[in-house]
Amino acid sequence: MILGKQGAGKGTQCARLARHYVVPHISTGDMLRAAARSQTEFGRKAKEFMDAGELVPDEVMIGLVRERLDYEDTSARGFILDGFPRTDGQAEALAGILGEDRALDLAIDIELPTEAALERLASRRVCNVCGAIYSTAQPPHLNWTCDFCGGEVVQREDDQPEAIKRRLDLYEEQTAPLIAWYLERDHLVTVDGMGHPDDVFRRLVRAIDGRRLHR
Ligand code: AMP
């Protein structure tokens, strides 16, 4: 499970880790954005929270993740959880959902100074169909059209300055305390999120493999 403030590279790195370890990448942000695109009642409500930079209420998120973790693909080789838990309540619920036999292997905190996170968020662009992540410095090859699915590559509504500020404040207030929560349970590994994505990826793989060998 991956922690780290917005802009730390969670989405990019989790997608790569999922391919590397051949496990499902469960991103609550991607699930909510897919719901928002489908224009269901649930999706519309979720979009309001997201666009404002607010957290979607715990009961809703816990239900969503509980259901997803019930799918068979999560029990074969495990899974990567990206963007959940983000509050105390979610962390406790997750421990209950997983129980003792499927207890979490590892919580990874990707560390990044706030100024660097702000810079990355301001330049981030995403495919509004498949969620692939780009930046103004590394755009898709052709005309803001996604290299993977041909979708339109845009700036996320919640990557606008007001929403970014709110999301980072909420991170400090609600999500950062989870680092201590997982440290106390001996699940936490911290990885430096600065530098090229390839370097961060190598650090993550080293941390994960190192930990698995010691279990
Ligand atoms: P992310 O792509 O992980 O930054 O998530 C985008 C937005 O989805 C967040 O700013 C929240 O509004 C919402 N969201 C994603 N995961 C959660 C969660 N675990 N709890 C509450 N809201 C969430």
103 close to 205: Cβ distance less than 8 angstroms: no
Cα–Cα distance, 117 to 137 (Å, whole number):
15
Question: By the 8 A CB rule, do 2 and 110 touch?
Answer: yes
Q: Is pLDDT at 208 greater than 90 in this prediction?
A: yes
State how far the Cα of 213 lies from the Cα of 125, in Å rounded to an integer.
Answer: 37
3-state secondary structure of 26: strand
Residue 83 belongs to what domain range?
A: 2-213
- The catalytically annotated residue of 47, 68, 86, 120 is 86
Specify the CATH number for the domain of residue 23: 3.40.50.300
DSSP reduced 3-state for 80: strand
The yes-or-no verdict on residue 105 having pLDDT over 90 is no
Which residues form ligand 1's pocket by a CB distance below 6 Å?
A: 6, 28-29, 32, 49-50, 53-56, 61, 83-84, 86, 90, 158, 167
86 belongs to the catalytic site: yes
Instruction: Spot the catalytic one: 5, 16, 47, 124.
Output: 124
Q: Which residues make beta-bridge pairs with 134?
A: 125
Which residues face 111 on adjacent strands? Answer: 192
* Start-end of H helices in 9-138: 10-21, 28-37, 41-51, 58-68, 73-76, 88-98, 114-123
Token readout for 18 is: 């999922």
Alpha carbon distance 204, 198 (integer Å) = 10
Residues 26-75 pLDDT 10s: 999 999 999 999 989 999 999 999 999 999 999 999 999 999 999 999 98
44 is catalytic: no
Tally of structural domains, the chain: 1
pTM of the model: 0.92
